[in-house]
């Protein structure tokens, strides 16, 4: 995972590098470090922990240096420690890496057998191997070429040599962009982190090797490379009046959903519908692919498509799909990849895999500059704006909205929906923001639920049909930011095993929309209460039960808007419970916003 930055031939390096690194911190925050470079000198400072800690250690102005490379880490190989923090450097070489070098043990055997010290990390191995190789290979380009030829894995490197004052950039699998402004050159794992600094941009391709000497950039493997004008993103990195990004992002949902729906209501679909018609003529199924929260969006889409269309739909975890045999020549599936970041390695690799087998692909993403957009046949955007909190909230509901709109288009093309039904469902989608605004105003249930959770040892989320994926999502939210043990179950499955978990220290949260399954879910609640469990119910209709259960009455739902209406209160209870627990809500332990390793 990790984020890397490089600033070559510029000034105010401390302020700029810390600013860019803090925007990359969503990629990992186990440790951070920078190497300042100039006049054949390298000065490296690393810290375990977040960028704010590194910032405190950077006491001088570093005005004497003209360049810097830096790193923010999500530990893969090797514990979280100063020793494993990047940059790895001495007085001759400094390097930072985002990715994983899979054959590092082989490299150790081949090149570092004489080495006494225990080398924990893959990237430290690369650093030491590079040092070994540099004893025999003087020419820096030849040295880099040699290094590239022996590395296996997905990575992006920035490597600085003090004797020639050259910086090399290598990309294979992990994202890396280079930007320019006047005589200064910038590198970043995420181009949006360079917003205020660059006029032109180039996104490196796999296999690219670049050399920057002073401000001159040479593409060593590809002469046709062109920088393109850079368009600043409108995304803001500010919490405004909110205490955390997560709660700000929860509150932003009515507006970002409105913006997303506006896009899907416009003429855009005339264009898209034609492309979709062509795709559907040669296709008989959709496969939805994602990870984590995005996978829960896939599961919800399956319910939508099964309800409103006749197309066959299945869902795959990207991390599983990658290793499956999909060589079925008779299947003409369209693969639909869902990713907030557009950079999740498992999803990206699954997309590349599917493409290599000749299947068509659609990407639904919040990041239009991302690698997945460049790989897919068609992109459907969500307009959630930048999501900073590690826990995905507004990006998820915008994914649901894009998927709901896609489903209705397919329903119309396949003649499963007539125009009256289509228009009614579109209206339901347009009404979602006002229902969510109502939920944001109802805060009377939050304290009570936080109290119930505080005395519980575990919390289970139970639901049926199209809100079952929302139970899984509610559980993921709670566990990732509060660290409480939690699971999501399909209501009907409780009696097949999970009900054994119920006792008086367990809280069960039941999502119970007012539909034909309402009584079935009520029975689930009764069965839990009968075994001494505590039950909280979210529903638009009271069950009338006098028993020890706490009900939260939500706005009336329809089939298509229920997943949205039942998501928001679960995001809120996770947030307020985590706040009560005092966890690091925007950057929970062991996680990163963008999982750019396999």
Catalytic center residues: 2, 593
Tokens of 56: 């405190």
Closest approach of ligand AGP to the CB of residue 575, in Å: 12
Stretch binding ligand AGP (CB under 6 A), from 176-184, 292-300, 463-471, 504-512? 292-300
Nearer to ligand AGP by Cβ, of 42 and 591: the residue is: 591
Say what angle helices 394-413 and 268-281 make with each other, to 10 degrees.
60
Tokens of 143: 């040295």
Q: Which residue has the tokens 């360049």?
A: 67
Stretch binding ligand AGP (CB under 6 A), from 182-190, 205-213, 272-280, 289-297? 289-297
Indicate whether 515 belongs to the interface with ligand AGP (CB under 6 A).
no
Q: Tell me how far CA of residue 24 lies from CA of 17, 18, 49, 501, 592, in angstroms.
A: 10, 10, 14, 40, 10
Spatial distance between the Cα atoms of 206 and 286, rounded to a whole number of angstroms: 28
CA–chain centroid gap for 388, Å, is 10
Closest approach of ligand AGP to the CB of residue 365, in Å: 8
CB 552 within 8 A of CB 541: no
Indicate whether 292 belongs to the interface with ligand AGP (CB under 6 A).
yes
Closest approach of ligand AGP to the CB of residue 293, in Å: 3
Closest approach of ligand AGP to the CB of residue 476, in Å: 6
Indicate whether 67 belongs to the interface with ligand AGP (CB under 6 A).
no
Closest approach of ligand AGP to the CB of residue 119, in Å: 29
Nearer to ligand AGP by Cβ, of 95 and 247: the residue is: 247
Indicate whether 31 belongs to the interface with ligand AGP (CB under 6 A).
no
Alpha helices per DSSP H over 186-339 = 245-251, 253-265, 268-281, 292-308, 318-321
> 339 - beta bridge partners?
365
Spatial distance between the Cα atoms of 597 and 213, rounded to a whole number of angstroms: 30
Helix (H) or strand (E) holding 396, with range, is: helix 394-413
Tokens of 444: 């009377």
CA atoms within 13 A on the CB side of 398: 32
What count of other Cβ atoms lies within 10 Å of the Cβ of residue 473? 31
Stretch binding ligand AGP (CB under 6 A), from 165-173, 210-218, 286-294, 533-541? 286-294
Task: Count the site residues for ligand AGP by CB under 6 A.
Answer: 16
CB 313 within 8 A of CB 301: yes
Indicate whether 294 belongs to the interface with ligand AGP (CB under 6 A).
yes
Nearer to ligand AGP by Cβ, of 89 and 367: the residue is: 367
Angle at 130 between CA 126 and CA 133, to 5 degrees: 135
Q: Which of 288, 595, 596, 597 is close enough to bind ligand AGP by CB under 6 A? A: 595
What count of other Cβ atoms lies within 10 Å of the Cβ of residue 340? 27
Stretch binding ligand AGP (CB under 6 A), from 269-277, 287-295, 510-518, 566-574? 287-295
Stretch binding ligand AGP (CB under 6 A), from 32-40, 44-52, 67-75, 285-293? 285-293
CB 316 within 8 A of CB 325: no
CB 363 within 8 A of CB 342: yes
Indicate whether 291 belongs to the interface with ligand AGP (CB under 6 A).
yes
Nearer to ligand AGP by Cβ, of 413 and 591: the residue is: 591
Nearer to ligand AGP by Cβ, of 137 and 373: the residue is: 373
What's the CA dihedral at 471, 445, 559, 300 to 10 degrees?
-20
Q: Which of 72, 293, 466, 543 is close enough to bind ligand AGP by CB under 6 A? A: 293
Of 123, 104, 116, the C-alpha closest to 46 is 123
Indicate whether 175 belongs to the interface with ligand AGP (CB under 6 A).
no
Residue with smallest beta-carbon separation from ligand AGP: 292
Q: Which of 167, 594, 596, 597 is close enough to bind ligand AGP by CB under 6 A? A: 594
Nearer to ligand AGP by Cβ, of 344 and 521: the residue is: 344
Nearer to ligand AGP by Cβ, of 375 and 527: the residue is: 375
Which letter, b or e, does each residue of 58-96 get, where b requires 16 or more Cβ atoms within 10 Å of its Cβ? beeebeebbbbbbbbbbbbbbeeeeebbbbbbeeebbbb
Residues 333-392 that bind ligand AGP (CB under 6 A): 339-341, 344, 347, 390-392
Here's the x/- map for ligand AGP, 442-481, by CB under 6 A: it reads as ----------------------------------x---x-
Task: Note the residues at the interface with ligand AGP (CB under 6 A).
Answer: 291-294, 339-341, 344, 347, 390-392, 476, 480, 594-595
């Amino acid at each position: 995972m990790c984020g890397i930055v490089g600033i070559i031939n510029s000034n105010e390096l401390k302020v700029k590098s810390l600013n860019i690194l803090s925007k990359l911190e969503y990629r990992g925050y186990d440790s951070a470090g920078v190497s300042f470079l100039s006049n054949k000198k390298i000065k490296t400072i690393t810290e375990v922990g977040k960028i704010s800690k590194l910032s405190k250690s950077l006491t001088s102005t570093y005005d004497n240096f003209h360049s810097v490379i830096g790193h923010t880490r999500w530990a893969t190989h090797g514990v979280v420690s100063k020793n494993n923090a990047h940059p790895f450097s001495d007085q001759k070489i400094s390097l930072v890496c985002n990715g994983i070098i899979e054959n590092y043990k082989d490299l150790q055997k081949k090149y570092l057998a004489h080495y006494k010290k225990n080398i924990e990390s893959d990237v430290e191995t690369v650093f030491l191997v590079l040092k070994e190789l540099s004893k025999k290979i003087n020419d820096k380009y030849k040295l880099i070429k040699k290094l590239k030829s022996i590395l296996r894995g997905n990575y992006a490197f920035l490597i600085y040599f003090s004797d020639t004052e050259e910086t090399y950039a290598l990309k294979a699998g992990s994202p890396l962009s280079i930007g320019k402004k006047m005589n200064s050159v910038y590198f970043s794992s995420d181009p949006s982190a360079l917003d205020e600094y660059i006029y032109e941009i180039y996104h490196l391709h796999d296999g690219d090797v670049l050399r920057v000497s002073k401000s001159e950039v040479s593409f060593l493997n590809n002469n046709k490379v062109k920088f393109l004008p850079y368009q600043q993103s409108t995304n803001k990195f500010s919490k405004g009046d909110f205490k955390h990004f997560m709660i700000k992002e929860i509150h932003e949902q009515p507006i970002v959903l409105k913006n997303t729906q506006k896009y899907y209501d416009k003429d855009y679909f005339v264009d898209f519908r034609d492309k979709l018609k062509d795709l559907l003529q040669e296709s008989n199924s959709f496969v939805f692919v994602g990870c984590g929260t995005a996978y829960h969006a896939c599961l919800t889409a399956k319910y939508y498509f099964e309800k409103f269309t006749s197309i066959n739909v299945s869902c795959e975890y990207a991390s599983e799909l990658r290793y499956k045999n999909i060589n079925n020549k008779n299947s003409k599936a369209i693969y639909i990849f869902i990713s907030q970041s557009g950079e999740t390695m498992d999803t990206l690799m699954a997309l590349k895999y599917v493409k290599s087998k000749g299947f068509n692909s659609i990407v639904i993403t919040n990041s239009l500059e991302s690698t997945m957009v460049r790989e897919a046949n068609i992109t459907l955007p969500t307009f959630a704006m930048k999501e900073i909190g590690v826990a995905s909230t507004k990006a998820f509901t915008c994914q649901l909205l894009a998927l709901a709109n896609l489903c209705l288009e397919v329903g119309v093309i396949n003649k499963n929906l007539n125009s009256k039904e289509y228009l009614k469902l579109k209206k339901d989608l347009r009404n979602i923001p006002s229902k969510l605004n109502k939920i944001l105003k109802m805060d009377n249930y939050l304290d009570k639920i936080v109290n119930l959770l505080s005395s519980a040892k575990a919390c289970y989320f139970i639901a049926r049909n199209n809100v079952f994926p929302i139970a899984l999502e509610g559980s993921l939210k709670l566990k990732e930011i509060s660290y409480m043990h939690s699971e999501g179950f399909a209501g009907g499955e409780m009696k097949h095993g999970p009900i054994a978990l119920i006792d008086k220290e367990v809280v069960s949260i039941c999502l119970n929309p007012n539909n034909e399954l309402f009584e079935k879910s009520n029975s689930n609640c009764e069965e839990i209460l009968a075994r001494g469990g505590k039950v909280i119910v979210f529903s638009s209709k009271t069950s009338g039960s006098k028993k020890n259960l706490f009900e939260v009455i939500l706005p009336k739902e329809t089939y298509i808007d229920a997943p949205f209406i039942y998501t928001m209160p679960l995001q809120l209870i996770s947030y307020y419970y985590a706040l009560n627990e005092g966890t690091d809500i925007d950057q929970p332990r062991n996680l990163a916003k963008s999982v750019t390793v396999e």
